[in-house]
Structure formats: structure tokens, C-alpha cells
């Protein structure tokens, strides 16, 4: 959101929301707790959940954790939000092995889908079980795209909307190992020795013969992993990079790719951040052990929701001077809106302003005069996420008029000597306006002429006219 070479933004006053409220990072479920790390894998803290078999993070930072049949959610600051014991006909049915479990956040953080063996639960954001659906086979993985929930089981992939089965995709005789839903809605399916990309209708779009036990998509491709080796692929499934995530005999248990294309890989006692070219960016060790079958034990806490921005002043259609004051309000529920990124633009290009920011509002004044006439001003603001999310433009249309209208007196011609007490004055104005003569409003015709009749008193009289523009 560059302001351009000729534009700039100066901030003054108390700056609100300048500190990120949601720390982006990565979470790892271990036998002792859910460890929280920054993107650089610096320790941030932990959530008190022992032996979580699956974790997922909602858009605004809510973390969902599943341990056996116990499902808990935590706010970004670690506050416990909900604690739900999922129903089961058999107390031992959901042995906490880490196998055949999956979590997927329902679109916009409205809740979470929990796949436990052959049961699928839809749970609200408050932790209430909304519905329960039977799966045809043991669950493997889950993901969402819009309103569609996809659950991979051992023999195929089932699609649900509002808990109703709407799609059933077959993968033949092969066994599904993992599933990742791309931003396009396509399904990346790991089949052990093969990777397939399916359309939401189940059409095979691309395939690749390769070891693929784990898969995680990025904005423009994805990563696959097997044993201790990972491969970065483009959208056409061509190799971009390879990496040995961990030395033998350590094996990759979980993958989580971020929007920038890098990937986090977890082994039993450590996690690594691998870059676009397969290089090691960071590494951290944890005391507890990740589960042996924990392909869902790593989750990224990223801010993907843009802030909102609105104009409070001036009102749309207002007539203003050459340097109107813009008052805007902004808010962001994630990392926080970045006041330094506030940017104004007109049809002529970036608009340099100086702003005072306080309590989620900014009062901004242009550093140069607007040209006369109609002008449309748009503004955007970004958050502290990496990469930043930019708000939808806020737009206001104005009419700039800083030149005062002129008035012409056509009658009577001064100086006038008269013995008639009732005298008419008339003339024209240079543009549509409201006119007063000696405090009395005088109508202005469409052709910009005006007339005013008054009663004179004996002596020298000087009439005073005042007017202002009207639109």
C-alpha cells in the first residue's frame, strides 16, 4: 500500500491499536501441552492441553484442541472459551491415539467440524454440538472452502453443507492419507505413492507419482511429505524445491504451509520452518513428544482477515473547501490495524496527508489543495499481519469550491436620487447561491438574476448584500 514518491503520511497525537493484538505464529500439540511459537519459532507460551490429537485455529485466533472426546477452545490470549465432551455410545470408542481424527474450522470461524473415526460433529463457536453425522469409513483429514466442508476418509472424500452430504468423491482402490483444500477450492489428496488434485466435482485435474503421506497447500501450490523428505510443488505439480526435514530416523508427523509458501514440519520432539527453496529458516525443540500419528498436530495462527475502514466526515455529496478534514474510523479483530498504513487516493493519484490518530479514528488533512469541482477520495488501511491484509476501499464523493461567488447590481445605478420611498434593486450572481439583502433572504432565479424591493427613509441609504453558494 505504497503512497508513491510524492505522497507521505505523518502521524501525530496518541496512536491507538499500534500494537498487534494477535501474535501470528505456529502451534504444536505435544504430550504435555500445546506449545506456542512465533513465526521465527521463538517460544510464546503454551496452552494447558495434554495429549491433543488435533488442533485448528480460527480466523481471529481462537484455537480448538481435541483430546480424546474432549474439545476445548481458547482465545488468542489463552483464555478458555469452551469445554465440550463429545457424545459417544462407547466410552472407549475414541481412544486418544491420534489416528482417525481431524478438525476443520467452519468458514468465518462460526464453529468447528470434528471428525472422530466414523463420527462427524458440527460444533458452534460456543462449543455446542449442532449435529452429528455418520461417516462411511474412518476419518483421515478435513478442510473447508466457503460453505463446503470436506472430510477425507480411508476410501474417499465426502462433502457437506450445513451437515448435509452433498458430494461423495471416490479415489478408487487407494487409501487416502491426507487432504488439503486449496484457496481455489480444489482438493489436494495424498494417496501414499500418488498425489491427486481433484475439482470440487471430483474431476481429476492433475496427478503426480510421488511419495505423499502428508500434504499442505499454499497460495500458489503446496508441499507434500513422506518419511523425512518434503517437496514443494507449483500449481501444476512441478517440483520447485526439495528438503530433508529431519535426519533419519526422525519422521515428519505433521505439515502446515503458510500463505507465503514456506512450511512448518513437526517431528516427535522438534519443529522446523522450511523456506521456499527448501532451506532451514528456524528450528525449535519441545519437551513433550508429538504423537506418532499426529498429522493434525501443527496449526498456524495467521491473520487472514482485513481491517474495516469507513469515512465519518465529510458526508457524501458535501461541499468543501480546498483542504477538507477527513475523519475515518477503523477496526481489526486480528493483529490490529496499522495507522501508518492509512492511505488516501484521488483520481489524480496518491494524496499526501497529515493525520492525528486516537481511539481507532484518524483525522487527516491534505498537504496540498484540491482542484475545484467534483472529487472522489478513497482510503485503505492494512493490519500488522505478514503479509498485511488490506481493507476494502472506503470512498466518499465531494464537491470542492473554495472560490467565493460574485454579485452584480444592475439597478438602480448608483448614486441615485429619488423621492420614491418604494425602490427596487436587481442584479445577478455568478453561480447558484443564496442571497440576503440587509438580512432579508432574496430568491435567486434559475438564470442567476435577483430582485429586491424595499421602503426607503429620508437620507443617504446603503444597502448591504450577503450571499453564499448553494448546491
Does residue 34 have a pLDDT over 70? Answer: yes
- What pLDDT does 234 receive? 96
- What pLDDT does 215 receive? 93
Task: Look up residue 109 and give its DSSP letter.
Answer: G
Residue 120: closest CA among 139, 131, 133:
133
Percent of the chain with pLDDT over 70: 86
109: which residues sit within 8 A by CB, 6+ positions away? Answer: 58, 59, 60, 62, 125
Instruction: State the average pLDDT over residues 9-31.
Output: 56
236: which residues sit within 8 A by CB, 6+ positions away? Answer: 206
Does residue 468 have a pLDDT over 50? Answer: no
In this structure, how many other beta carbons lie within 10 angstroms of the beta carbon of residue 35?
24
Q: What is the mean pLDDT of the chain?
A: 84
Give the Cα separation of 196 and 194 in Å (integer). 7
Least confident of 89-103, 127-141, 263-277, 360-374: 89-103
* pLDDT one-digit tens code per residue, 392-442: 999 999 998 777 777 887 777 666 566 666 777 788 877 777 778 777 888
Instruction: State the average pLDDT over residues 265-273.
Output: 90
Which strand (E) or helix (H) includes residue 356?
Answer: strand 353-358
| 243, 229 Cβ separation under 8 angstroms | yes
Least confident of 256-265, 308-317, 339-348: 256-265
| 115, 102 Cβ separation under 8 angstroms | yes
Least confident of 16-25, 144-153, 161-170: 16-25
Core vs surface per residue 400-434: b (16+ CB within 10 A) or e: bbeeebebeeeeeeeeeeeeeeebebebebeeebe
Percent of the chain with pLDDT over 90: 51
More confident residue, 104 or 16: 104
Amino acid at each position: 500500500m505504497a503512497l508513491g514518491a510524492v505522497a507521505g503520511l505523518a502521524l501525530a497525537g496518541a496512536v491507538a491499536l499500534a500494537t498487534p493484538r494477535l501474535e501470528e505464529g505456529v502451534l504444536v500439540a505435544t504430550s504435555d501441552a500445546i506449545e506456542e511459537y512465533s513465526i521465527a519459532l521463538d517460544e510464546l507460551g503454551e496452552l494447558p492441553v495434554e495429549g491433543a490429537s488435533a488442533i485448528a485455529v480460527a480466523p481471529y485466533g481462537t484455537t480448538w484442541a481435541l483430546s480424546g472426546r474432549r474439545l476445548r477452545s481458547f482465545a488468542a490470549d489463552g483464555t478458555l472459551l469452551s469445554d465440550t465432551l463429545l457424545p459417544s455410545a462407547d466410552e472407549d470408542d475414541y481412544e486418544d491415539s491420534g489416528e482417525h481424527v481431524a478438525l476443520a474450522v467452519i468458514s468465518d470461524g462460526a464453529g468447528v467440524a470434528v471428525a472422530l473415526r466414523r463420527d462427524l460433529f458440527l460444533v458452534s463457536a460456543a462449543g455446542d454440538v449442532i449435529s452429528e453425522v455418520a461417516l462411511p469409513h474412518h476419518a483421515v483429514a478435513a478442510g473447508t472452502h466457503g460453505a463446503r466442508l470436506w472430510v477425507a476418509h480411508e476410501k474417499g472424500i465426502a462433502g457437506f453443507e450445513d451437515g448435509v452430504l452433498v458430494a461423495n468423491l471416490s479415489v478408487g482402490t487407494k487409501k487416502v492419507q491426507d487432504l488439503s483444500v486449496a484457496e481455489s477450492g480444489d482438493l489436494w489428496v495424498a494417496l501414499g505413492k500418488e498425489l491427486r488434485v481433484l475439482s470440487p466435482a471430483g474431476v481429476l485435474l492433475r496427478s503426480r507419482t510421488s511419495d505423499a503421506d502428508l500434504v499442505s497447500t499454499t497460495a500458489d501450490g503446496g508441499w507434500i511429505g513422506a518419511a523425512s523428505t518434503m517437496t514443494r510443488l507449483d500449481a501444476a505439480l512441478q517440483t520447485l524445491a526439495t528438503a530433508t526435514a529431519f535426519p533419519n530416523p526422525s519422521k515428519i508427523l505433521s505439515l502446515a504451509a503458510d500463505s507465503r509458501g514456506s512450511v512448518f514440519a513437526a517431528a516427535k520432539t522438534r519443529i522446523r520452518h522450511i523456506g521456499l527453496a527448501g532451506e532451514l529458516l528456524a528450528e525449535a525443540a519441545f519437551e513433550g513428544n508429538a504423537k506418532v500419528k499426529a498429522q493434525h498436530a501443527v496449526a498456524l495462527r495467521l491473520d487472514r482477515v482485513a481491517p474495516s475502514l469507513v469515512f465519518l466526515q465529510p458526508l457524501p455529496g458535501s461541499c468543501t473547501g480546498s483542504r477538507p478534514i477527513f475523519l475515518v474510523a477503523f477496526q481489526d479483530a486480528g493483529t490490529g490495524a496499522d495507522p501508518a498504513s492509512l492511505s488516501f487516493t484521488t483520481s489524480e493519484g496518491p494524496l499526501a496527508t497529515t493525520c492525528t490518530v486516537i481511539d481507532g479514528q484518524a483525522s487527516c488533512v491534505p498537504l496540498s489543495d484540491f482542484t475545484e469541482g467534483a472529487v472522489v477520495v478513497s482510503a485503505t488501511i492494512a493490519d500488522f499481519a505478514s503479509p498485511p491484509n488490506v481493507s476494502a476501499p472506503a470512498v466518499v464523493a465531494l464537491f470542492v469550491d473554495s472560490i467565493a461567488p460574485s454579485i452584480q447590481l444592475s439597478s438602480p445605478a448608483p448614486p441615485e436620487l429619488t423621492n420614491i420611498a418604494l425602490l427596487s434593486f436587481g442584479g445577478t450572481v455568478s453561480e447558484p447561491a443564496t442571497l440576503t439583502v440587509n438580512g432579508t433572504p432574496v430568491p435567486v432565479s434559475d438564470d442567476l438574476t435577483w430582485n429586491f424591493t424595499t421602503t426607503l427613509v429620508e437620507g443617504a441609504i446603503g444597502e448591504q448584500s450577503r450571499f453564499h453558494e448553494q448546491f
